[in-house]
Amino acid sequence: MVDVTGAAPQSRDIKQVYLEQTRAKRVMNSILLIIFAALMIAGFRTADARNAGGFWDGLPKLLDFPADVVGEAIERAHLLPGYFVEYFPSLIETVNIAAASTLLGAILGLFISLLVTRGLTPVPWLVGPLRRVLDILRAIPEIVVALVLIFLLGGGPVPAMIAIALHTVGALGKLFSEVNENASLKPVEGLQSVGASWGQQMWLGVIPQVAPNYLSYALLRFEINIRASAILGFVGAGGIGYDLRNTMSWGQGKFDEAAAIFLLLFLTIVVVDQLSSSLRNRLTHGASTAEGVV
Protein backbone atom coordinates (compact mmCIF):
# COMPACT_ATOMS: atom_id res chain seq x y z
CA MET A 1 0.00 0.00 0.00
CA VAL A 2 2.73 2.34 0.97
CA ASP A 3 4.42 1.63 -2.31
CA VAL A 4 1.32 2.37 -4.35
CA THR A 5 0.60 5.71 -2.70
CA GLY A 6 4.27 6.56 -3.00
CA ALA A 7 4.31 5.70 -6.71
CA ALA A 8 1.07 7.43 -7.64
CA PRO A 9 2.36 11.01 -8.06
CA GLN A 10 5.37 9.62 -9.89
CA SER A 11 3.24 7.79 -12.42
CA ARG A 12 1.17 10.93 -12.90
CA ASP A 13 4.44 12.68 -13.73
CA ILE A 14 5.34 10.02 -16.23
CA LYS A 15 1.92 10.34 -17.84
CA GLN A 16 2.35 14.09 -17.97
CA VAL A 17 5.76 13.83 -19.57
CA TYR A 18 4.57 11.20 -22.01
CA LEU A 19 1.59 13.30 -23.08
CA GLU A 20 3.80 16.34 -23.52
CA GLN A 21 6.23 14.34 -25.59
CA THR A 22 3.44 12.99 -27.78
CA ARG A 23 2.03 16.45 -28.22
CA ALA A 24 5.43 17.86 -29.17
CA LYS A 25 5.92 15.04 -31.62
CA ARG A 26 2.51 15.60 -33.11
CA VAL A 27 3.15 19.34 -33.52
CA MET A 28 6.50 18.54 -35.11
CA ASN A 29 4.93 16.04 -37.48
CA SER A 30 2.17 18.38 -38.54
CA ILE A 31 4.68 21.17 -39.17
CA LEU A 32 6.69 18.81 -41.35
CA LEU A 33 3.54 17.75 -43.13
CA ILE A 34 2.55 21.37 -43.79
CA ILE A 35 6.02 22.18 -45.12
CA PHE A 36 5.88 19.10 -47.33
CA ALA A 37 2.42 19.99 -48.67
CA ALA A 38 3.51 23.56 -49.31
CA LEU A 39 6.57 22.34 -51.19
CA MET A 40 4.46 19.99 -53.29
CA ILE A 41 1.96 22.71 -54.19
CA ALA A 42 4.60 25.34 -54.87
CA GLY A 43 6.58 22.82 -56.89
CA PHE A 44 3.58 21.87 -58.95
CA ARG A 45 2.75 25.52 -59.65
CA THR A 46 6.35 26.30 -60.66
CA ALA A 47 6.49 23.27 -62.93
CA ASP A 48 3.13 24.20 -64.41
CA ALA A 49 4.25 27.78 -65.03
CA ARG A 50 7.47 26.73 -66.72
CA ASN A 51 5.85 24.07 -68.88
CA ALA A 52 5.09 24.92 -72.50
CA GLY A 53 1.46 23.91 -72.10
CA GLY A 54 -0.42 24.30 -68.82
CA PHE A 55 -1.71 21.32 -66.86
CA TRP A 56 -5.37 22.33 -66.88
CA ASP A 57 -5.29 23.22 -70.59
CA GLY A 58 -3.55 20.00 -71.48
CA LEU A 59 -5.61 17.66 -69.32
CA PRO A 60 -8.56 17.41 -71.72
CA LYS A 61 -6.13 16.79 -74.58
CA LEU A 62 -4.34 14.06 -72.68
CA LEU A 63 -6.23 11.26 -74.36
CA ASP A 64 -6.20 12.78 -77.85
CA PHE A 65 -2.89 11.28 -78.82
CA PRO A 66 -3.53 7.79 -77.42
CA ALA A 67 -6.97 7.95 -79.10
CA ASP A 68 -5.35 8.85 -82.44
CA VAL A 69 -2.89 6.02 -82.11
CA VAL A 70 -5.47 3.45 -81.05
CA GLY A 71 -7.87 4.71 -83.71
CA GLU A 72 -5.38 4.29 -86.50
CA ALA A 73 -4.28 0.94 -85.14
CA ILE A 74 -7.85 -0.37 -85.11
CA GLU A 75 -8.57 1.07 -88.53
CA ARG A 76 -5.62 -0.80 -90.00
CA ALA A 77 -5.58 -3.72 -87.60
CA HIS A 78 -4.92 -6.17 -90.40
CA LEU A 79 -1.51 -4.54 -90.95
CA LEU A 80 -0.39 -4.97 -87.34
CA PRO A 81 1.00 -8.55 -87.67
CA GLY A 82 3.09 -7.34 -90.60
CA TYR A 83 4.49 -4.51 -88.48
CA PHE A 84 5.29 -6.92 -85.67
CA VAL A 85 7.39 -8.92 -88.10
CA GLU A 86 8.93 -5.77 -89.56
CA TYR A 87 10.01 -4.32 -86.23
CA PHE A 88 10.97 -7.59 -84.57
CA PRO A 89 14.67 -7.27 -85.57
CA SER A 90 14.79 -3.83 -83.93
CA LEU A 91 13.27 -5.29 -80.82
CA ILE A 92 15.94 -7.99 -80.81
CA GLU A 93 18.56 -5.27 -81.12
CA THR A 94 17.12 -3.42 -78.13
CA VAL A 95 17.09 -6.61 -76.07
CA ASN A 96 20.61 -7.42 -77.23
CA ILE A 97 21.87 -3.99 -76.18
CA ALA A 98 20.38 -4.56 -72.75
CA ALA A 99 21.66 -8.13 -72.45
CA ALA A 100 25.18 -7.43 -73.69
CA SER A 101 25.56 -4.36 -71.50
CA THR A 102 24.18 -6.18 -68.45
CA LEU A 103 26.57 -9.07 -69.04
CA LEU A 104 29.56 -6.79 -69.62
CA GLY A 105 28.62 -4.62 -66.66
CA ALA A 106 28.10 -7.63 -64.41
CA ILE A 107 31.46 -9.20 -65.32
CA LEU A 108 33.36 -5.95 -64.79
CA GLY A 109 31.27 -5.13 -61.73
CA LEU A 110 32.13 -8.53 -60.27
CA PHE A 111 35.86 -7.90 -60.53
CA ILE A 112 35.61 -4.38 -59.19
CA SER A 113 33.29 -5.45 -56.39
CA LEU A 114 35.90 -7.94 -55.19
CA LEU A 115 38.51 -5.19 -55.35
CA VAL A 116 36.44 -2.75 -53.27
CA THR A 117 35.45 -5.19 -50.52
CA ARG A 118 37.63 -4.80 -47.48
CA GLY A 119 38.89 -8.19 -46.38
CA LEU A 120 38.82 -9.62 -49.88
CA THR A 121 40.78 -7.07 -51.88
CA PRO A 122 44.43 -7.76 -52.64
CA VAL A 123 45.11 -4.00 -52.91
CA PRO A 124 43.55 -2.25 -49.89
CA TRP A 125 44.72 1.24 -50.88
CA LEU A 126 42.62 1.00 -54.06
CA VAL A 127 39.35 0.55 -52.17
CA GLY A 128 38.66 4.24 -51.62
CA PRO A 129 39.50 5.53 -55.11
CA LEU A 130 37.71 2.65 -56.85
CA ARG A 131 34.59 3.28 -54.82
CA ARG A 132 34.60 6.91 -55.92
CA VAL A 133 34.93 5.69 -59.51
CA LEU A 134 31.87 3.50 -59.01
CA ASP A 135 29.98 6.45 -57.50
CA ILE A 136 30.77 8.57 -60.54
CA LEU A 137 29.84 5.81 -62.97
CA ARG A 138 26.53 5.49 -61.18
CA ALA A 139 25.89 9.20 -61.13
CA ILE A 140 26.33 9.83 -64.87
CA PRO A 141 23.04 9.25 -66.67
CA GLU A 142 23.40 6.81 -69.58
CA ILE A 143 22.12 9.38 -72.04
CA VAL A 144 25.11 11.65 -71.45
CA VAL A 145 27.66 9.00 -72.35
CA ALA A 146 25.50 7.75 -75.21
CA LEU A 147 25.15 11.18 -76.83
CA VAL A 148 28.86 11.90 -76.64
CA LEU A 149 29.66 8.45 -78.06
CA ILE A 150 27.13 8.89 -80.85
CA PHE A 151 29.06 12.01 -81.84
CA LEU A 152 32.27 9.99 -81.96
CA LEU A 153 31.09 6.63 -83.28
CA GLY A 154 27.94 7.53 -85.18
CA GLY A 155 24.52 6.08 -84.38
CA GLY A 156 23.97 2.40 -83.76
CA PRO A 157 23.88 -0.03 -80.89
CA VAL A 158 27.50 0.26 -79.74
CA PRO A 159 27.28 3.69 -78.05
CA ALA A 160 24.16 2.58 -76.20
CA MET A 161 25.79 -0.67 -75.16
CA ILE A 162 28.88 1.10 -73.79
CA ALA A 163 26.82 3.77 -72.04
CA ILE A 164 24.53 1.29 -70.32
CA ALA A 165 27.40 -1.06 -69.49
CA LEU A 166 29.30 1.75 -67.74
CA HIS A 167 26.30 2.63 -65.64
CA THR A 168 25.72 -1.05 -64.88
CA VAL A 169 29.30 -1.44 -63.66
CA GLY A 170 28.69 1.37 -61.19
CA ALA A 171 25.36 0.03 -59.98
CA LEU A 172 26.23 -3.66 -59.82
CA GLY A 173 29.74 -3.04 -58.49
CA LYS A 174 28.23 -1.41 -55.42
CA LEU A 175 25.47 -3.98 -54.91
CA PHE A 176 27.87 -6.89 -55.42
CA SER A 177 30.33 -5.47 -52.92
CA GLU A 178 27.52 -5.23 -50.36
CA VAL A 179 26.81 -8.91 -50.98
CA ASN A 180 30.51 -9.74 -50.67
CA GLU A 181 30.68 -8.06 -47.30
CA ASN A 182 28.21 -10.62 -45.96
CA ALA A 183 30.08 -13.59 -47.40
CA SER A 184 31.75 -15.89 -44.90
CA LEU A 185 35.54 -15.63 -44.95
CA LYS A 186 36.08 -19.18 -43.74
CA PRO A 187 36.26 -20.81 -47.18
CA VAL A 188 38.69 -18.09 -48.26
CA GLU A 189 40.90 -18.75 -45.24
CA GLY A 190 40.75 -22.47 -45.92
CA LEU A 191 41.82 -21.96 -49.52
CA GLN A 192 44.53 -19.54 -48.42
CA SER A 193 45.93 -22.14 -46.02
CA VAL A 194 46.38 -24.62 -48.86
CA GLY A 195 48.17 -22.00 -50.98
CA ALA A 196 45.45 -20.95 -53.41
CA SER A 197 46.06 -17.81 -55.43
CA TRP A 198 43.82 -14.75 -55.01
CA GLY A 199 41.87 -15.68 -58.13
CA GLN A 200 41.30 -19.20 -56.88
CA GLN A 201 40.27 -17.95 -53.43
CA MET A 202 37.67 -15.69 -55.01
CA TRP A 203 36.46 -18.13 -57.65
CA LEU A 204 36.14 -21.12 -55.32
CA GLY A 205 35.68 -19.47 -51.94
CA VAL A 206 33.53 -16.40 -52.51
CA ILE A 207 31.68 -16.73 -55.82
CA PRO A 208 29.77 -19.93 -54.93
CA GLN A 209 28.44 -18.20 -51.79
CA VAL A 210 27.30 -15.04 -53.52
CA ALA A 211 26.35 -16.27 -56.98
CA PRO A 212 22.57 -16.49 -56.35
CA ASN A 213 22.48 -12.93 -55.03
CA TYR A 214 24.65 -11.71 -57.88
CA LEU A 215 22.33 -13.32 -60.41
CA SER A 216 19.29 -11.86 -58.78
CA TYR A 217 20.74 -8.33 -58.86
CA ALA A 218 21.91 -8.80 -62.45
CA LEU A 219 18.43 -9.87 -63.52
CA LEU A 220 16.91 -6.83 -61.83
CA ARG A 221 19.43 -4.70 -63.68
CA PHE A 222 18.48 -6.39 -66.95
CA GLU A 223 14.87 -5.26 -66.44
CA ILE A 224 16.09 -1.70 -65.90
CA ASN A 225 18.48 -1.85 -68.85
CA ILE A 226 15.78 -2.91 -71.31
CA ARG A 227 13.98 0.32 -70.53
CA ALA A 228 17.20 2.32 -70.75
CA SER A 229 18.03 0.71 -74.08
CA ALA A 230 14.65 1.69 -75.51
CA ILE A 231 15.15 5.28 -74.30
CA LEU A 232 18.64 5.52 -75.79
CA GLY A 233 17.28 4.26 -79.08
CA PHE A 234 14.96 7.23 -79.00
CA VAL A 235 17.92 9.63 -79.04
CA GLY A 236 19.56 7.83 -81.96
CA ALA A 237 21.25 4.73 -80.65
CA GLY A 238 19.40 2.14 -82.70
CA GLY A 239 16.90 -0.50 -81.72
CA ILE A 240 13.18 -0.15 -81.33
CA GLY A 241 13.38 3.27 -79.69
CA TYR A 242 14.85 4.69 -82.89
CA ASP A 243 12.02 3.25 -84.98
CA LEU A 244 9.55 4.63 -82.49
CA ARG A 245 10.93 8.13 -82.89
CA ASN A 246 10.88 7.89 -86.66
CA THR A 247 7.27 6.76 -86.82
CA MET A 248 6.30 9.35 -84.22
CA SER A 249 7.94 12.25 -85.98
CA TRP A 250 6.21 11.17 -89.18
CA GLY A 251 2.98 12.06 -87.43
CA GLN A 252 -0.46 10.96 -88.43
CA GLY A 253 -0.49 8.18 -90.99
CA LYS A 254 2.19 6.13 -89.29
CA PHE A 255 0.53 5.96 -85.89
CA ASP A 256 -0.50 2.39 -86.60
CA GLU A 257 3.19 1.51 -86.80
CA ALA A 258 3.80 3.48 -83.60
CA ALA A 259 1.04 1.45 -81.98
CA ALA A 260 2.68 -1.79 -83.09
CA ILE A 261 5.99 -0.62 -81.59
CA PHE A 262 4.30 0.49 -78.36
CA LEU A 263 2.75 -2.95 -78.09
CA LEU A 264 6.00 -4.78 -78.81
CA LEU A 265 7.85 -2.69 -76.24
CA PHE A 266 5.11 -3.06 -73.64
CA LEU A 267 4.92 -6.83 -74.09
CA THR A 268 8.70 -7.21 -73.95
CA ILE A 269 8.96 -5.20 -70.75
CA VAL A 270 6.12 -7.13 -69.10
CA VAL A 271 7.46 -10.54 -70.19
CA VAL A 272 11.01 -9.75 -69.07
CA ASP A 273 9.72 -8.37 -65.75
CA GLN A 274 7.65 -11.49 -65.12
CA LEU A 275 10.38 -13.92 -66.12
CA SER A 276 13.03 -12.16 -64.13
CA SER A 277 10.90 -11.76 -61.03
CA SER A 278 9.95 -15.45 -61.00
CA LEU A 279 13.60 -16.39 -61.55
CA ARG A 280 14.68 -14.07 -58.78
CA ASN A 281 12.08 -15.57 -56.47
CA ARG A 282 13.46 -19.01 -57.21
CA LEU A 283 17.00 -17.80 -56.59
CA THR A 284 16.32 -16.21 -53.23
CA HIS A 285 13.71 -18.60 -51.84
CA GLY A 286 14.85 -21.68 -53.74
CA ALA A 287 18.31 -21.57 -52.18
CA SER A 288 17.05 -22.71 -48.78
CA THR A 289 15.00 -25.62 -50.18
CA ALA A 290 17.90 -26.70 -52.36
CA GLU A 291 20.10 -26.88 -49.28
CA GLY A 292 17.49 -29.05 -47.63
CA VAL A 293 17.53 -31.47 -50.54
CA VAL A 294 21.31 -31.76 -50.66
Partner 1 sequence: MSDTTLTQNTITLFQRKKLVSFAIPVLILAYFTYIFFAFDIGGLADRINVNNARTLISDTYSYKTHVTRDNRSGDLEIAIEGERKGRYAEGTAPDWVSLGDETVVDLGNGHVVTLGETVRYDVPGYGTITADPGSSGANATLPDGDVPDFISASKNRLMVTTDAGRLTITRNRTEIFNYSVGWELFFFTLNSPYYGMGVGEVISRASSGEAGAIWQDFWSNNMWRHGDVAWAIGETILMAFLGTFGAAIIALPLGFLAAKNFTPLGSLRFAARRVFDFLRGVDGLIWTIVLSRALGPGPLTGSLAILLTDTGSFGKMFSEALENVDGKQIEGITSTGANPMQRYRFGVIPQITPVLLSQVLYYLESNTRSATIIGAITGGGIGLLLTQAIITQKDWEEVTYYIVLIVIMVMMMDTLSGWLRRKLIKGDAQ
Answer whether 116's CB lies under 8 Å from 122's CB.
no
- Asked if 235 interacts with partner 1 (CB under 8 A), we say yes
- Asked if 18 interacts with partner 1 (CB under 8 A), we say no
The region of 115-123, 182-190, 191-199, 261-269 touching partner 1 under the rule CB under 8 A is 261-269
Answer whether 73's CB lies under 8 Å from 255's CB.
yes
From CA 146, how far away is CA 149, in angstroms rounded?
A: 5
Residue closer to partner 1 (CB basis): 7 or 62:
62
- Asked if 215 interacts with partner 1 (CB under 8 A), we say no
Count other Cβ atoms within 10 Å, centred on residue 80.
Answer: 16
- Asked if 129 interacts with partner 1 (CB under 8 A), we say no
| Amino acid identity at 231 | I
Question: From the list 148, 185, 275, 290, which residue makes contact with partner 1 (rule: CB under 8 A)?
Answer: 148
CB within 8 Å of 115: residues ≥ 6 apart: 121, 122, 123, 126, 127, 130
- Asked if 284 interacts with partner 1 (CB under 8 A), we say no
Residues of span 58-97 touching partner 1 by CB under 8 A = 58-59, 61-62, 64-66, 93, 96
Residues of span 160-189 touching partner 1 by CB under 8 A = 161
Q: How far is the CB of 259 from partner 1 (least distance, A)?
A: 11
- Asked if 55 interacts with partner 1 (CB under 8 A), we say yes
Print burial letters for 125-158: b (CB count within 10 Å at least 16), e (below 16).
eeeeebbebbeebbeeebbebbbebbeeeeebbb
- Asked if 19 interacts with partner 1 (CB under 8 A), we say no
Question: From the list 36, 88, 111, 250, which residue makes contact with partner 1 (rule: CB under 8 A)?
Answer: 36
Judged by the rule CB under 8 A, the positions of this chain that interact with partner 1 are 36, 39-40, 43-44, 46-48, 50-55, 58-59, 61-62, 64-66, 93, 96, 99-100, 103, 107, 135-136, 138-144, 147-148, 151-154, 156-158, 161, 227, 230-231, 234-235, 241, 244, 248, 262, 265-266, 269-270, 273, 294
